[in-house]
């Protein structure tokens, strides 16, 4: 293979520019810029890239390279401006989706810039599912599940790429144990999109006609009413606490402690009740209380795997990646683990290893899952992302 000679390429670029051959001159300047980027010379690379852009201003991909050069120099505003231009020219050529893989490959480590692209496309075109899905994936990689869910529900209005939307929606609402049934009913036409959105909205609660008892009032202890009493207690607690839990942490802690003392008389060894209560705490961001309830569900119980999956979600949100890793690995060792739960645990292992930067182990777990279900959730995209990282590793 002929060695790359920067001086020769520069001379070709200058010669083509003198002849008025803008296309070839721009290509040579871009090649030189790429060479300097690999050397980590971002400032010099941008100078040559600007020459390439001046000669071919409508070449959309060049603006991705400019964004990379800018962000490497700490110039976030300039990088976003470059992405805006990338979106503009991609839309002008009606190739916004065609250019997306190039963006994803070159800006893998910069989710905010990728998000800017999809947001820019949505300002221009909301008739296709593509930008909604792209933006939802950006949110999912940052564990912003509520935002991802909103994007995907909006995407359903486009009547486009329904199967992919539903796959991503399943990822976004994975922590909701009842969401799978709602998605199934929507797919089978039993409920509308608006009804699905309402069912998946964790902030929408059934309004009780009768005045609710205070969470601290005595609770009837008959066995027939235990489940109803637990649901009532949870709803009352949610109403008492409101939404600003982080700001009112000191205020709500005593209330939650007394609430848990009262529910203990109801729950005893009721694993289903404890799982429901843990899920309620999880939805209210009371993660410590949720973990405490989950710890009371024994390994011998049939709901142990469900409890571990929820515990893993909590640990991921808290940033306890290594602890979550242990939880999902432990879950996979459960006897008679259902196929869907096994897939979920393997998928989470792939995500965690990617988060930890252990691309080799991420690929190993991905291959195991791929053998069983190659189209599972976001697996195909993760495969591309891992492959891109592997190429970078080998190149370096």
Q: Rounded distance, CA 369 to CA 346, Å?
A: 6
Q: CA Rg, the chain, in Å? A: 26
Q: What is the total residue count of the chain?
A: 396
**Domain contains 155:** yes
Give CA separation, 27 vs 4, 31, 40, 67, in Å. 15, 6, 20, 18
| Domain final position from 172, 201, 230 | 201
Look at residue 363 and tell me if it is in a domain.
yes
Question: To which residue do tokens 């496309």 refer?
Answer: 121
Q: Could you tell me the residue range of the domain that residue 135 belongs to?
A: 129-201
- For residue 296, give both structure tokens: 């009371």
pLDDT tens track, the chain, 396 positions: 456 687 888 888 888 888 888 888 898 888 888 889 888 899 999 999 999 999 888 888 999 999 999 999 988 888 888 898 898 888 888 888 888 888 888 888 888 888 888 888 888 778 888 889 988 888 887 778 888 888 998 888 887 888 888 888 888 887 666 677 788 888 888 888 888 888 877 533 333 333 333 333 333 333 433 444 555 555 565 565 554 444 444 455 666 777 777 777 777 778 888 888 888 888 777 888 889 999 989 888 888 998 999 999 899 888 888 999 999 999 999 878 888 889 999 999 998 998 888 888 999 999 999 999 888 877 888 888 888 887 777 776
CA–CA separation, 214 and 361 (whole Å): 50
Domain count of the fold of the chain: 2
Structural domain includes residue 7:
no
Q: What CATH number is given to the structural domain containing 339?
A: 1.25.40.10
User: Does a structural domain hold residue 32?
Assistant: no
Q: Which of 181, 161, 163, 164 is nearest to 173 (CA)?
A: 181
DSSP secondary structure string, 304-347?
Answer: HHHHHHHHHHHHHHTT-HHHHHHHHHHHHTSTT--HHHHHHHHH
Which residue matches tokens 């640990």? 315
End-to-end CA distance of the chain: 19
Cβ(309)–Cβ(344) under 8 Å?
yes
**Closest alpha carbon to 377 in 161, 130, 172, 139:** 172
Answer whether residue 387 is part of any domain. Answer: yes
């Amino acid at each position: 293979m002929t060695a790359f000679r920067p001086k020769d390429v520069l001379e070709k670029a200058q010669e083509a520019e003198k002849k008025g051959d803008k296309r070839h001159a721009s290509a040579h300047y871009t090649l030189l810029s790429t060479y300097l980027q690999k050397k980590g010379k971002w400032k010099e690379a941008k100078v040559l890239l600007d020459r390439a852009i001046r000669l071919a201003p409508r070449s959309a991909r060049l603006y991705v390279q400019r964004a990379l050069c800018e962000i490497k120099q700490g110039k976030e505003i300039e990088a976003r401006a470059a992405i805006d231009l990338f979106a503009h020219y991609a839309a002008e050529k009606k190739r916004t989706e065609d250019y997306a893989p190039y963006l994803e490959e070159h800006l893998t480590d910069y989710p905010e810039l990728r998000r800017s692209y999809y947001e820019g496309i949505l300002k221009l075109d909301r008739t296709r599912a593509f930008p909604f899905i792209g933006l939802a994936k950006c949110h999912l990689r940052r564990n912003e599940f509520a935002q991802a869910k909103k994007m995907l529900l909006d995407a359903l209005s486009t009547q486009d790429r329904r199967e992919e939307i539903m796959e991503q929606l399943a990822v976004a609402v994975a922590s909701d144990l009842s969401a799978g049934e709602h998605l199934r009913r929507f797919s089978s036409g039993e409920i509308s999109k608006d009804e699905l959105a309402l069912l998946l909205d964790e902030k929408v609660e059934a309004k009780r006609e009768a005045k609710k008892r205070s969470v601290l009032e005595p609770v009837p202890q008959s066995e027939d009413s235990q489940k109803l009493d637990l649901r009532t207690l949870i709803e009352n607690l949610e109403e008492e606490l409101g939404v600003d839990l982080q700001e009112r942490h000191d205020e709500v802690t005593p209330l939650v402690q007394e609430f848990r003392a009262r529910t203990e008389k109801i729950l005893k060894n009721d694993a289903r009740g404890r799982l429901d209560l843990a899920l309620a705490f999880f939805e209210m961001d009371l993660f410590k209380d949720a973990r405490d309830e989950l710890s009371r569900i024994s390994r011998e119980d049939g709901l142990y795997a469900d409890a571990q999956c929820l515990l893993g979600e909590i640990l991921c949100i808290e940033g306890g990646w290594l602890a979550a890793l242990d939880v999902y690995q432990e879950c996979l060792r459960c006897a008679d683990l259902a196929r869907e739960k096994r897939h979920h645990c393997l998928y989470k292992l792939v995500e965690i290893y990617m988060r930890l930067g252990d691309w080799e182990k991420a690929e190993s777990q991905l291959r195991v899952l791929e053998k069983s279900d190659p189209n599972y959730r976001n697996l195909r995209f993760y495969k591309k992302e891992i492959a891109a990282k592997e190429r970078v590793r080998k190149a370096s």
